[in-house]
A and B are shown apart, each in its own frame.
Chain A
Amino acid sequence: MSPADRDHSDAVAGYLGTGVDPGLPAPELVRLDLTRSVLSRAATWANPPPELVDALLDRIAIGRGAGRRSPVRSIALGTLAAAVLVVVGLLAADRLGRPDPERQVALAGTELAPDASATATLRDTPSGVSIRLQIVGLVPAPLGFYYQGWVTGPAGSVPIGTFHLREGDDEPVDLWSGVDLSDYPTLTVTLEPEDGNPASSGQRVLTSQP
């Protein structure tokens, strides 16, 4: 690396760390701003579940098996597949008429958090409705603020829990509702100041539709 390249790397490192322009060319600053923006996004730091590699190995093993499949083996696999379909059909028929104990609702980011989204997994339990939020792209709540979940219906809004995401958004957020969600069908998340005021700030960052 030449001395000029070393100087450039030092200047880039300084800009990445502080955002203060040390006199870099404008096109380079544009690129470095993109780098800084990427570094601040949740997607850059998100990690896939480690167990996915086992599922991948299973799929590759199945693919390798398919490549060497003999006619006799194909017939055997076909018979097995038909048997599996029958069993699945019987199980599905058995479930008809029962409410699904677990369902998912998508939440989209509002103008305050256009890069954010979330999937809420709702599960009825004997003590209330468990609401597990898997959030993507929502920045951690600034110090002095927190996020609050709400369910809203014609009768008003009911808080379902608070969180801050300051240690990342890899882990799901668990919230609970003590009211029937058919009466409060809209799920929202707001940004709240730590001011002791229990009323909503109205600063919605995520919302579902009823």
Chain B
Amino acid sequence: MIRAAERTAVRAPADPDGELARRFAAGDTGAVREMYARWSGPVYTVAISRLGYRHLAEEALQETFVKAWQAYDNFDPRRGLGPWLYTIARRVALDIARRERRRPITTTLSDTAEAPDATTLSQAWEEWEVRCALRDLPGDERELVRLTHYVGLSQSQIADQLGLPIGTVKSRIHRAHRRLADRLGHLRVRA
């Protein structure tokens, strides 16, 4: 613990993730809350996508942060908090999924209940990255993306719902997607 803390302290001025992780490892309440505010959404998305049930995803979420706290010595500040937590979250969700498969089925789990477990590595990473990108969008732009993709409204329906001119909605939706495209630019597949 001390060795990792020293390593982080040297890098802290240029490494906000490392500083946050160091405070998190010390059990600093503010740091735990900050870590949770930043990463609970992406961890929850990966967990619920893999496990399918909220109660299991909530268990995975809490277990991920506890394991991160316990395994702080393994944190490499050069990799950043996001990829580190993602790795822990996936492993925790996998362990819970295995445990659930071993349990006798007392309620009802048809074959389709296995579907969430079929998430591929690339899908899970995409989910993580998209969730992080959405977190970083301004709230009004995130809502426009939600209405477009999740609720499935057309631009004119969104304009009606929000009481905005259609032209304004179009430009704001494009701006939101442009911001998403920039934020996810590192995932670009170059031909």
Q: Which residues of A contact B (CB under 8 A)?
A: 1, 5, 8-10, 12-14, 16-17, 25-28, 30-31, 34-36, 38-49, 52-53, 55-57, 59-61, 63-64, 104-111, 114-115, 117, 119, 134, 136-137, 139-140, 142, 166, 168, 207-209
Q: Which of A27, A49, A136 contacts B52 (CB 8 A)?
A: A136
Q: Check if B53 sits within 8 Å of A31, measured CB to CB.
A: no
Query: Which of chain B's residues has its CB closest to A31's CB?
Result: B189
Give the tally of cross-chain contacts (CB within 8 A).
172
User: Which of B48, B123, B182, B191 is the most central at the interface, judged by chain A CB atoms within 10 Å of its CB?
Assistant: B48
Q: Which residues of B contact A (CB under 8 A)?
A: 27, 29, 32-33, 36, 40-41, 44-45, 48-49, 52-55, 57-58, 61-62, 65-66, 69-70, 107-113, 115-116, 122-123, 126-127, 130-131, 134, 145-146, 148-152, 173-174, 177-178, 180-182, 184-185, 187-191
Q: Residues of B contacting A10 with CB < 8 Å?
A: 178, 181
Interface of B, secondary structure class, is: helix
Q: Check if B127 sits within 8 Å of A43, measured CB to CB.
A: yes
Q: Residues of B contacting A25 with CB < 8 Å?
A: 189-191
Q: Please measure, in the bound complex, the distance between the C-alpha atom of A14 and the C-alpha atom of B127, giving whole angstroms.
A: 20
Q: Residues of B contacting A59 with CB < 8 Å?
A: 62, 66
Q: Residues of B contacting A49 with CB < 8 Å?
A: 58
Q: Please measure, in the bound complex, the distance between the C-alpha atom of A34 and the C-alpha atom of B189, giving whole angstroms.
A: 12
Q: Please measure, in the bound complex, the distance between the C-alpha atom of A30 and the C-alpha atom of B20, giving whole angstroms.
A: 36
